[in-house]
């Protein structure tokens, strides 16, 4: 079986997942794998010899989309798995009219015709202005913008057209079925995969806290800074490291200098996030909207306690941990952080999370579940 992974980005969660998944399948020797897209910013060495450069820089670039489909089609895959929103649109085009014959890719050198590939997409997340209340179907919840609703309508169309949509979090599958009216049989839940380092839980009270993510509103960094600045929350010897970049960086740096002088370090974008997590004691994720954040799985695998907001699939990942706060609630987040700093044995929590991460997010577990899906679709 030939499996083609299609990307239009060089960094971010979908890229990291694709690289790990592709590498696990390559190592298994059970399928022929090729990744089509830009060179990944992280982990490119894991798919060396199995990567082909393809660029679709904009959704509206129809010529680039056609060229990407030609390159993928020429490899003659059995399965094409699109791993971001733009590549989902490109991949869906492989099933549209205009291919060589109804339901066929065309003749090979022997004259035999090869069936069209099965097309799969992973739906990694909703647009930025989708709020948790609306996502969960709450009555009276503010709807996203008209533009976002148009994007979601396109997402629904792609999900109804491709053979299967993979969702890393069960809550996202419920959203697709309930809100976007995608048939339930076209949605499959498979957890993300991350690198699994040797766990190194904290050996004392948490003092080095780390935030990882884009510096945009929905990631909640300003809410986190407000929570940490409240009296009695942050011990005198504690610090926060911010990993990531984005439009909120200037505002966040100003807030940190004003409210937490000398206690917040901004590192910008890093390619060594797993190593950075190992150097810190605990992760905080204050987002207003997530699905199944890779950084939470990476922190769990490293044996680090996690304080997070109850959004998307985070509660499912942490098994209803008491370290959850309502999105946007700085007071509740402050309470959870104060409890984390006061915990005399956070390593116990870290070890339990590492055990859970190794059972759920190991690349070989993820690969086996994807391979079962591919075989089902091809059969």
Fold match, 2-193+362-378 / 208-360:
yes
Please give the pLDDT value at position 277. Answer: 95
Ranges in the chain, pLDDT < 70? 97-115, 320-321
Give 290-327 pLDDT, tens digit per residue: 889 999 999 999 999 999 999 988 998 998 667 899 99
Classify domain 2-193+362-378 at the CATH topology level.
Answer: Rossmann fold (3.40.50)
Please give the pLDDT value at position 321. Answer: 67
Domain 208-360: which CATH class? alpha beta
pTM of the model: 0.85
| 3-state DSSP of the chain | CEEEEECCCCCCHHHHHHHHHHHHHHHHCCCEEEEEECCCCCCHHHHCCCEEECCCCCCCCHHHHHHHHHHHHHHCCCEEEECCHHHHHHHHHHHCCCCCCCCEEEECCCCCEEECCEEEEECCCCCCCCCHHHHCCCCCCCCCCHHHHHHHHHHHHHHHHCCEEEECCHHHHHHHHHCCCCCHHHEEECCCCCCCCCCCCCCCCCCEEEEECCCCHHHCHHHHHHHHCCCCCCCCCCEEEEECCCCCHHHHHHHHHHHCCCCEEEEECCCCHHHHHHHCCEEEECCCCCCCCHHHHHHHHCCCCEEEECCCCHHHHCCCCCCEECCCCHHHHHHHHHHHHHCCCHHHHHHHHHHHHHHHCCHHHHHHHHHHHHHHHHC
Give 159-178 pLDDT, tens digit per residue: 999 999 999 999 999 999 99
Ranges of each domain in the chain: 2-193+362-378, 208-360
């Amino acid at each position: 079986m030939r499996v083609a992974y299609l990307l239009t980005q060089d960094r971010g969660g979908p890229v990291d997942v694709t690289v790990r998944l592709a590498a696990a399948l390559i190592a298994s020797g059970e399928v022929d794998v090729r990744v089509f897209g830009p060179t990944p910013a992280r982990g490119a060495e894991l798919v060396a010899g199995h990567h082909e450069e393809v660029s679709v820089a904009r959704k509206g670039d129809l010529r680039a989309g056609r060229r990407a489909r030609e390159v993928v089609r020429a490899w003659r895959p059995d399965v094409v798995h699109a791993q971001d929103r733009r590549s989902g649109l490109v991949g869906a085009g492989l099933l549209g009219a205009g291919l060589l014959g109804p339901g066929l890719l065309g003749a090979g050198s022997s004259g035999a015709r090869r069936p069209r590939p099965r097309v799969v997409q992973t739906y990694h997340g909703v647009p930025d202005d989708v709020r948790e209340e609306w996502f969960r179907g709450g009555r009276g919840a503010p709807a996203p913008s008209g533009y976002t609703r148009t994007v979601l309508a396109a997402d629904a169309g792609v999900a109804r057209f491709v053979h299967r949509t993979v969702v890393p979090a069960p809550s996202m599958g419920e959203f697709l079925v309930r809100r976007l009216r995608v048939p339930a049989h076209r949605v499959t839940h498979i957890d993300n995969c991350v690198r699994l380092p040797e766990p190194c839980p904290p050996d004392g009270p948490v003092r080095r806290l780390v935030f990882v993510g884009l510096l945009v509103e929905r990631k909640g960094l300003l809410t986190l800074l407000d929570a940490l600045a409240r009296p009695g929350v942050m011990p005198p010897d504690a610090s926060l490291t911010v990993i990531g970049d984005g439009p909120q960086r200037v505002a966040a740096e100003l807030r940190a200098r004003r409210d937490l002088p000398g206690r917040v370090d901004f590192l910008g974008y890093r390619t060594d996030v797993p190593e950075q997590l190992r150097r810190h004691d605990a992760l905080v994720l204050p987002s207003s909207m997530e699905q199944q954040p890779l950084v939470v799985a990476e922190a769990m695998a490293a044996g680090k306690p996690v304080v997070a907001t109850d959004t998307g699939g985070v509660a499912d990942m942490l098994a209803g941990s008491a370290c959850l706060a309502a999105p946007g609630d700085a007071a509740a987040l402050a309470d959870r952080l104060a409890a984390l700093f006061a915990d005399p044995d956070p390593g116990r929590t870290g070890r339990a999370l590492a055990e859970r991460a190794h059972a759920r997010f190991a690349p070989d577990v993820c690969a086996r579940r994807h391979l079962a899906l591919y075989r089902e679709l091809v059969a």
